[in-house]
Structure 1
Amino acid sequence: MTGRALSSDWLKIRGKGIWFLVFLAPLGLTAMQALNFGLRLDYLKEQYAGNLWGGLLENVIVFVPLALMLGATILSSMIAGVEHEQGSWKQLLALPIPRPAVYLAKFLLACMLLIVSCVLLTTSVVGLGLIFGFDVKDIPWAQALKLGLMPLAGALPVLSIELWLTMVSRNQALPVTFGIVLAITGMFSLSLSPQFPLAWSQMAWSAPNPYLYAGMGVALGIMIMLAGMMHFSRKDVA
């Protein structure tokens, strides 16, 4: 059932600008570092002489948690907005597909789109390093793949909350505003506590044990997703 709903959702997002957003975020972050390194290449090569690739990744990761939380907010709104704009919730929920399957399909769709964006970020950053003449033999593939995926795991609670709010609310202004507030708060969350959930996206990269924070993010994200699924299953959606 979830597979059928997911296939339908893939078709619905065509021509909605969602793929533009998926590509825009990683390419935008890469362009920022292209400008940064392009203007200060000699200085940065001297500063990171012992680890050029590591220096590039560290410059990119500063912006990744914010981009992920904002991306989760906007993607959730756009995915739910397809049904809200067309007024098709009643028709969709009248189909012989359980409500939990409908909700899970949209959650999986959002996760898959963000994963695509993260993989594109890795590809773009590696390509940027090669353009600047970094040694191809020194590419830290494991770290490059973690660049987006580990912070995404830590940011999963934000995606779950935003999908919940956008799915049950026809007016998208409040969920989107709340998501922006969460993203901005996440930028300063490490000053509060590493245990604060909004800090987990950053800690999933920078902590001595990043897998702990990535795992906590996934666990809390799934718990929030299940709570949202239960609420959606019982709520009348116009």
Structure 2
Amino acid sequence: MKGFLLSFQSEFYKSRKTLGFWSAVLLPLLISLLAFTIFYTKSDKFVSTPPMGLWIQFTMVGLGVMGTLLLPMYTIFIAYSVNNVEHRSDTWKTLFSLPISRWSVYGAKFFYAVFLVFLCLALFALFTIGFGNLLGAIKPELKFSAYHMEIQLMQVYFKLFLSSLGILAIQFLLSLLWADFLKPMGLGFVATIVGVTVASKNWEYSYLFPYAHPMVAITGMVKHNKGPARDIEIDMFTNDVYVSLVICVIVFITGYFIVQKKSVK
């Protein structure tokens, strides 16, 4: 456990000045700020919108982007950037020669990538809630304060996080084995296009394809019930989430055995 914690801490120090780390902070900030600017400058168009509809429209600015191309591509980029630190400096042999188990090194790298994706989506939820309430304070005519959906927003972004883990595990393994940029990123981009296509066409088996999971998670996130319209209930654990978690576990374990038996250059 000590080796894992040391390796995880090392990953933070190595990446804290890289685009991979700062994109986890800047991406949600800039997109949430864009949504804030749109609603602030065009507030007259949203005055008559009911509070619940107002929150949904405001939230969908970020969710609409993250649930299609952006989250899969961001996940692919994070998986690449975490391993690229070692590829660029050619320190894989040095890293695995340290008196720390390969399991600790491999696990720390993977879970640091998981942490960056989690951080990004957690900040999306926090910035959306914060900027929405700020709009309600400085633009009282926008009735943001008349409805609260903080819990639902956190559930939605957590579901997005779970749905991205299958992609992350696959891309992490590919970027671990291939040092160049084009192979893992190119395959990931093509797979993302296929995933978005099958999800947008409502293919019944799209939940089996990991690169379609973020979009499938967004389109199937609301439970259809007969309750009042004010009650939005998020369906957290759908088939796509379960498949994503299973793929993540299987690929993560497979990757460890590959790393354990193969000399990584």
Query: If the length of structure 2 is used for normalisation, what is the TM-score?
Result: 0.80
Deviation at 1:225, TM superposition (A): 1.5
Task: Give the alignment partner of residue 212 of structure 2, picking from 199, 206, 218.
Answer: 199
Residue 188 in structure 1 maps to residue 197 in structure 2: yes
Structure 2 runs not aligned, ≥5 long: 137-142, 224-234
Structure 1 runs not aligned, ≥5 long: none
Aligned residue in 1 for 2:166: 157
Residue 142 in structure 1 maps to residue 142 in structure 2: no
Deviation at 1:142, TM superposition (A): 1.1
Task: Give the alignment partner of residue 237 of structure 2, picking from 171, 194, 211.
Answer: 211
Aligned residue in 2 for 1:27: 29
Determine the C-alpha separation between the residues in 1 that align with 2:90 and 2:150.
Answer: 45
Deviation at 1:105, TM superposition (A): 0.8
Determine the C-alpha separation between the residues in 1 that align with 2:52 and 2:107.
Answer: 45
How many residue pairs get aligned? The number is 238
Aligned residue in 2 for 1:232: 259
Secondary structure of the residue that 2:190 maps to in structure 1?
helix
Determine the C-alpha separation between the residues in 2 that align with 1:180 and 1:34.
Answer: 30
Deviation at 1:45, TM superposition (A): 4.5
Determine the C-alpha separation between the residues in 2 that align with 1:61 and 1:48.
Answer: 20
- Report the CA distance shift for 1:16/1:49 in structure 2 as closer, same or farther (over 3 A): closer
Deviation at 1:137, TM superposition (A): 5.5
Residue 61 in structure 1 maps to residue 59 in structure 2: no
Aligned-pair Cα RMSD in Å: 2.2
Counterpart of 1:234 in structure 2: which amino acid? K
Q: Deviations over 1:88-145 (max 9, x none)?
A: 1111111122222211111100111111111111121112212332433522111121
Aligned residue in 2 for 1:3: 5
Deviation at 1:83, TM superposition (A): 0.6
Counterpart of 1:77 in structure 2: which amino acid? Y
- Report the CA distance shift for 1:55/1:97 in structure 2 as closer, same or farther (over 3 A): same
Asked whether the 8 Å contact 1:200–1:214 carries over to 2, the reply is: yes
Task: Give the alignment partner of residue 132 of structure 1, picking from 119, 131, 135.
Answer: 135
Counterpart of 1:5 in structure 2: which amino acid? S
- Structure with max Cα Rg: 2
Asked whether the 8 Å contact 1:64–1:148 carries over to 2, the reply is: no
- Report the CA distance shift for 1:141/1:9 in structure 2 as closer, same or farther (over 3 A): same
Asked whether the 8 Å contact 2:160–2:217 carries over to 1, the reply is: yes
Asked whether the 8 Å contact 1:68–1:152 carries over to 2, the reply is: no
- Report the CA distance shift for 1:186/1:28 in structure 2 as closer, same or farther (over 3 A): farther
- Percent identical residues: 20
Aligned residue in 2 for 1:74: 77
Deviation at 1:49, TM superposition (A): 5.0
Query: If the length of structure 1 is used for normalisation, what is the TM-score?
Result: 0.89
- Report the CA distance shift for 1:39/1:189 in structure 2 as closer, same or farther (over 3 A): farther
